[in-house]
Amino acid sequence: MDFQPDRLVQIRQKLGINKAEAAKRLNMSAMGYGRYENGQRTPSYQTISFIAQAFNTSPEYLCGIDSDAAAKTIVIDQNEAPELFGMLEALGSDSDLEKRILSYYNKIKSSVKH
């Protein structure tokens, strides 16, 4: 699995942010981030996964394994979204509740006009 710097550039541009903002979102120096984009440095898989999460894509896309840039997972942080985290935690232990909430969600989703 080889990191593809050009895909990192594409994702950053799709987000409409510059290199400095990308580095800030990743809590790293602009110089360090720039080295990833220009291929001077290859991030660890853990760092690739962190970048993918922060930029709403997948590690597989950043490594050239998948051509679909869409995220395959979403991480919910209890500190950032406590209500959503609690709801999902409750769903994990109650399949009836899960079915009811999914049914309600689908009704809401179908009523929203696109």
- Give a yes or no: residue 71 inside a domain: no
- Print the domain residue range for 38: 5-62
- Give a yes or no: residue 96 inside a domain: yes
Residue 78, amino acid? Q
Do 17 and 58 fall within a single domain?
yes
Percent of the chain with pLDDT over 70: 98
Condensed to tens digits (0 to 9), the pLDDT of residues 20-46 reads 999 999 999 999 999 999 999 999 999
Q: How far is CA 21 from CA 50, 90, 110, in A?
A: 16, 36, 36
- Give a yes or no: residue 74 inside a domain: no
Question: What is the pLDDT confidence band of residue 112, given thresholds at 50, 70 and 90?
Answer: confident
Question: What is the pLDDT confidence band of residue 15, given thresholds at 50, 70 and 90?
Answer: very high
Question: What is the pLDDT confidence band of residue 90, given thresholds at 50, 70 and 90?
Answer: confident
- Give a yes or no: residue 21 inside a domain: yes
How many domains does the structure of the chain reveal?
A: 2
CB under 8 Å to 27, separation ≥6 — which residues? none
Do 38 and 86 fall within a single domain?
no
